[in-house]
Structure 1
Amino acid sequence: MNTMSPIEHSERIVTLDVIRGFSLLGIFIINMISFHSPFLYLDPYTWWKTPEDTALYPWIDVLVQASFYPLFAMMFGYGLGIQQQRATEKGTSFYLFGIRRLLILLGIGCIHAFLIWSGDILINYAVFGLILLVFMRMSGKGLMWLGGMLFLLPQTFFSILLVLMTFADPTGVTQYTNIAALQNSVAAYASGSFSSIMTQRFQDWYTVNSPDNLIFLLLSILPMMMIGAGASKLQLLEKVRDKKNIWLLIGAGTMLAGIIIKSLPLFIEPNFAYSYIQDFLGGPFLSVSYAVILSLLLLNEKIMKWSKPLASVGRMSLSNYLMQSIIGTLIFYSYGLGLYGEVTLTTGTMLAVGVYVIQVIVSEIWLSKFRYGPVEKLWRVLSYGRNNTVQKG
């Protein structure tokens, strides 16, 4: 009987890996703020004081914040669609394999969230991925339509409701800095014991992933996974050249819409209402535009050739994502260098870019010797039930 096996290098879609690699840079830039500062509890529009930081933050806010996790979620769904297609071709059970694979990812996410860094996204990807499996029998167009509606209709409704609240109760949507929570965060991460860091880490994780926030997380991630899975079934990344003009229109339209929506707090008012609209409505639009623009650029043979390092980072995306958290916490937490709260936004951003460049180099070297990254190897061994990862040469 045929069995599931890992995707061979010759079967990989380079564009998918490049987009994943690009996503990791944006994810690291925004995560770095939480590594070195109590970003979860401060008002970012008033917190940064130096001229460099006040000039830099709007760019990060518009171009990076809330635009790269949705992008990675689309690629996650795309990869799941590829695995389903391969299972169908081999006549094997995709769903049992998918459940096992996602449960293993859930375990990795729990280790990451509770022992390394509270800002973990793997738990959400695993849980929402399990929900996505329920819909994977749908056609590609059906998945994309459902994902689009699940994203657009609720987020438009919530956005209108919040805008109305700005007129009915302006003080109710005012951004503020939670001084008590901020002080607790600094005390734990900058100079606390490992036990106090563990306690604070769980508190931070629960603040974001509480039952009250679950519906908003679901509606921001699951629809993008559906869109990605639908695009995979339609093989859209493989057909970019055939539909280039349509992709140009989609890329330009989503880029324009994304930038306009994400700029609302800067041009109207930086309150909670417009920040919500910026992240949950504008972020996914910009995510789609990034995917489309990268796909179009990679039609150029020279750009495709020069993008190989990004593809290497993307092929090791799970290993690199976890390593970013390990490096970030070791630099800033008390059990490492203890620099939490000591660096500026500009310094932290430069550090993120520098570490990412090192990851590009290390990924290239690693993949010249091995087929998969170290965590990817573990995930595959546990998922497929045998060691399909061998050393090159």
Structure 2
Amino acid sequence: MTTLSPTEHSERIVSLDVIRGFSLLGIFIINMISFHSPFLYLDPYSWWKTPEDVALYPWIDVWVQASFYPLFAMMFGYGLGIQQQRAIAKRTSFYLFGIRRLLILLVIGSIHAFLIWSGDILINYAVFGLLLLFFMRLSGKGLLWLGGLLFLLPQLFFSILLVLMTFADPTGVTQFTDIQSLQNSVAAYASGSFSSIMEQRFQDWYAVNSPGNLIFLLLSILPMMMIGAGASKLQLLEKVRDYKKTWIVIGICTLVIGIFIKSMPLFIQSNFAYAYIQDFLGGPFLSVSYAIILSLLMLNEKIMKGSKPLASVGKMSLTNYLMQSVIGTLIFYSYGFGLYGEVTLTTGTLLAIGIYAIQVIISEIWLSKFKYGPVEKLWRVLSYGKSTVVKKGEL
């Protein structure tokens, strides 16, 4: 009987790996702030004091914040779509495989969230990925339309509602620093015991993933997965050259719209309403523009060859993502160097870029000797079964 097997290297889409690799840089820059500061509980526009930090944060807020998780979610959906198409071609069961693969990711994410860092996104990807399986029988266009509507309509509704609230009750949407939660966070991570860190980690995770926030997480991640899966079924990354002019127009439009929406707190008012619009409405627009721009750049042969290190990071995206959390928490938590709360935004950003550059080098060296990253290997072995994955000469 034909069994589902991992994607061979000759079958990989280079632009997909490049986009994943690029996403990891943006994700790390944002995550680094939470590694070294109580970012979850502070007002960033009043917290940073040095001239360098005050100048830097708006750039991160517009170009990076909330723009890379949606991008990675699209690529997650794209990869799931590829697996489905390969299963259909081989006449194997995609859904049982998909459920097993996502449940394994859920376990990895749970270990990450509760033992390493509370800002984990893998649990959300796994749970929403399981929901995505219910829609994978739709056509590519059907997934694109459904994903687009599921993203746009609710976000426009909530955005308009919040803007109206700014007129009805301006103080109700004011951003503020939660002093008590901030102090608890600093006390636990900077000098607390491992058990106190565990307790704080769960509280931080629940603050983001509580039932009240779940609907907003769902409406920000699942639609992007649907769009990615629909694009995969239509093979849009493989056909960029065929629709180059169309993609240029869409890329420019989404870039302009994304930048405009994400700049609103800077030019109108920095409050909760415009911060929500900035992240949940503007972020995905900018994500789409990033994906299109990178795909168009990959049409240039020199850029394609030069992007190989970025693609290597993308091929090992799960390993690199987890390692970023391990390194970040070891630097800043009390069981490591204990530098939590003692690093400026600028220093943390430069540190993230430096560590990412090292990851690029390590990924290149690793993939010159092995086919997969270590965590990717484990995920594949558990997903496909050892007999279909392990070959002589592999890790």
TM-score w.r.t. the length of structure 2 is 0.99
- Which residues of 2 match residues 304-323 of structure 1 at below 5 A? 304-323=304-323
- Which residues of 2 match residues 209-228 of structure 1 at below 5 A? 209-228=209-228
CA distance in 2 between counterparts of 1:39 and 1:183 reads 12
Residue aligning to 1:245: 245
Residue aligning to 2:116: 116
Q: By how many angstroms is 1:392 displaced?
A: 5.6
- Which residues of 2 match residues 178-197 of structure 1 at below 5 A? 178-197=178-197
Letter aligned with residue 355 of structure 1: I
Letter aligned with residue 173 of structure 2: V
Contact 1:368 1:392 in 2 (8 A): no
Contact 1:21 1:313 in 2 (8 A): yes
Residue aligning to 2:281: 281
CA distance in 2 between counterparts of 1:90 and 1:234 reads 19
Letter aligned with residue 164 of structure 2: L
Letter aligned with residue 244 of structure 1: K
Residue aligning to 2:128: 128
Letter aligned with residue 59 of structure 1: W
Letter aligned with residue 364 of structure 1: E
Once the two structures are superposed, residues 31-78 of structure 1 have per-residue CA deviations (whole angstroms, 9 ceiling, x without a partner) of: 000000000000001000000000000000000000000000000000
CA distance in 1 between counterparts of 2:104 and 2:56 reads 38
SS for the counterpart of 1:135 is coil
Residue aligning to 1:364: 364
SS for the counterpart of 2:177 is coil
CA distance in 2 between counterparts of 1:328 and 1:147 reads 34
CA distance in 1 between counterparts of 2:137 and 2:52 reads 50
CA distance in 2 between counterparts of 1:350 and 1:20 reads 21
- Which residues of 2 match residues 59-208 of structure 1 at below 5 A? 59-208=59-208
Residue aligning to 1:331: 331
CA distance in 1 between counterparts of 2:283 and 2:264 reads 12
Identity value in percent: 84
Once the two structures are superposed, residues 264-322 of structure 1 have per-residue CA deviations (whole angstroms, 9 ceiling, x without a partner) of: 00000000000000000000000000000000001000000000000000000000000
Residue aligning to 2:347: 347
1:291 aligns with 2:291: yes
Residue aligning to 2:7: 7
CA distance in 1 between counterparts of 2:279 and 2:53 reads 20
CA distance in 1 between counterparts of 2:43 and 2:390 reads 46
Residue aligning to 2:265: 265
Contact 1:251 1:289 in 2 (8 A): yes
Letter aligned with residue 175 of structure 1: Q
Once the two structures are superposed, residues 71-94 of structure 1 have per-residue CA deviations (whole angstroms, 9 ceiling, x without a partner) of: 000000000000000000000000
Letter aligned with residue 149 of structure 2: M
SS for the counterpart of 1:202 is helix
CA distance in 2 between counterparts of 1:320 and 1:23 reads 11
CA distance in 1 between counterparts of 2:91 and 2:163 reads 51
- Which residues of 2 match residues 36-55 of structure 1 at below 5 A? 36-55=36-55
Query: For structure 1, which segment, 378-387 or 220-229, has the greater mean C-alpha deviation from structure 2 after superposition?
Result: 378-387
Distance 1:389 1:57, change over 3 A: farther
Count of residues paired in the alignment: 393
Would you identify which runs of 4 or more consecutive aligned residues in structure 1 move more than 4 Å?
none
1:381 aligns with 2:356: no
Contact 1:377 1:389 in 2 (8 A): no
Letter aligned with residue 275 of structure 2: S
RMSD over equivalenced CA pairs, Å? 0.8
Contact 1:372 1:389 in 2 (8 A): no
Q: By how many angstroms is 1:215 displaced?
A: 0.2
CA distance in 2 between counterparts of 1:37 and 1:195 reads 19
Residue aligning to 1:29: 29
Q: By how many angstroms is 1:389 displaced?
A: 4.4
CA distance in 2 between counterparts of 1:245 and 1:171 reads 46
1:301 aligns with 2:306: no
CA distance in 2 between counterparts of 1:389 and 1:374 reads 13
Letter aligned with residue 78 of structure 1: Y
Q: By how many angstroms is 1:140 displaced?
A: 0.0
Contact 1:331 1:338 in 2 (8 A): yes
Letter aligned with residue 304 of structure 2: M
